[in-house]
Structure 1
């Protein structure tokens, strides 16, 4: 299948490692012109070189206004923006009583406000050109709460409402908006949470962790030309782990 991404200009945040890097890699292989971003400058530059990305822009999504500035810079340097993939790192784990107000505020900034800022900056150009793809990388925690992930459970669920609302508003302009929900994948995030393959795999019908490139394939499809009639959806890639319909 031709995904129709040759020459399309894409931005992937959180792209120096893990799922974000896999998404950027897949888009590059589909011959898109890809800009990558993450907090760490040196690590980002190394990843961009290895991926063959067209542009690397450091950005800390926990800082107010940073996401808007990022999209503005990428749009100017690439001459426009067709695909926006917002992928923010996971907030700290912990039960409700262990989470501080400051952690809630930081999580809201990086997961919510940065997403809103990035989309608001990208929309005018997408509307003017009559084509756009917006994909939010959230988590299966948005649909089924995970123990000890209080901040992620609370904030990511709200993003699904944003996806549906926004998709209705921008559909007449040829823009789709979807959420991709990763389950347990073989990334450093698993190590950060203290979760091993042996501990998690028995609870997944596929009996294994996902590979980053498998999740990247979902995101790339949602960003493609053939996915033009798919919008407002929240699609999980989790080996069948979600228990709901």
Structure 2
């Protein structure tokens, strides 16, 4: 299938590692011009240098000027973004009864407010052109809140509600807005969560991973490239009638429809 995004400009937030990097690489493989961003500028530039057409930008989405720096860098290099991939670091694990007011504020800043600011910067040009793709990397916790991830569940659910509302408002302008929800994808973030659970429960990490795999119908953790491929489709021309949707890429982990 020709995804129809050759020459399109894709701005990918927090794309120096994990799922963000996997999406950046998948979009680049389909011919998009990619803006790789992250707090580690050297890493962003190194990753961009390996892609067919890309630049690396040092910018922290959660910093006050982060969204502006990202949008301006994309425009300077390639023009207004056609594709925006929203992504942000997950907050620390924690139970709902134990989180603090400051931690809630921080989760909302990183997972909601910063992503809304970046969206507002690139959306007008998409609407004016009559073509745009906005995709948020979410969490399966949106569909079924995850134990011990109260801050992530809270922030990502709020972002999902905002994007679902936005999708209906801009669909007639040729702009789609979707979420892609990972389950247990083999990234450093998931490995860290497994280590934290093992420490809390005084178990080995291998035991925790085996338990997690047993709960996944596919019987394994997903590969980042598999997640990237699903993201690339949602950002594609053929996906023009898919909007306001939260697609799970989780190997069947969440049992609800």
TM band (smaller chain): over 0.9
- C-alpha displacement at 1:53, in angstroms? 4.6
Q: 4+ residue stretches of structure 1 with deviation over 6 A?
A: none
Please give the secondary structure, in 2, of the residue aligned with 1:231.
coil
Q: Match for 1:219 among 218, 231, 234?
A: 231
- Mapped partners of 1:99, 1:197: distance in 2: 26
SS at match of 2:191: helix
Q: TM-score, normalised by structure 1?
A: 0.95
- Among 235, 239, 247, the alignment partner of 1:235 is 247
RMSD of the TM alignment (CA)? 1.4
Farther-moved stretch of structure 1 (44-53 vs 3-12):
44-53
Distance, in Å, in 1 between the alignment partners of 2:108 and 2:68 is 16
Report which stretch shifted further, 216-225 or 46-55: 46-55
In structure 1, what is the equivalent of residue 154 of structure 2?
A: 154
Alignment correspondent of 1:115: 115
Which structure has the bigger radius of gyration?
2
- Point out the more displaced range, 230-239 or 189-198: 189-198
8 A Cα contact 2:179 2:246, kept in partner: yes
- Of the candidates 212, 221, 225, which is equivalent to residue 200 of structure 1? 212
Whether 1:106 aligns to 2:118 is no
Cα displacement (A) at 1:23: 0.7
- Whole-Å separation in 1 of the counterparts to 2:32 and 2:99: 40
Residue segments in structure 1 that go unaligned for 5+ positions in a row: none
Matched residue, 2:34: 34
Q: How high is the TM-score relative to the length of structure 2?
A: 0.91
Gaps of 5+ in 2: 196-207
Residue 172 of structure 1, CA deviation: 1.3
- Structure-2 separation of matches of 1:185 and 1:15: 15
Aligned to 1:163: 163
Residue by residue over 1:176-224, the C-alpha shift from the partner in whole angstroms, topping out at 9 and shown as x without a partner, is: 0000001100000112112553231000011100000111111100000
- The separation in 1 between residues aligned to 2:243 and 2:25, in whole angstroms, is 23
2:133 maps to which residue? 133
Residues 6-63 of structure 1, C-alpha deviations (whole Å, 9 max, x = no match): 0000011111111111111111110111111011122222222233452111111222
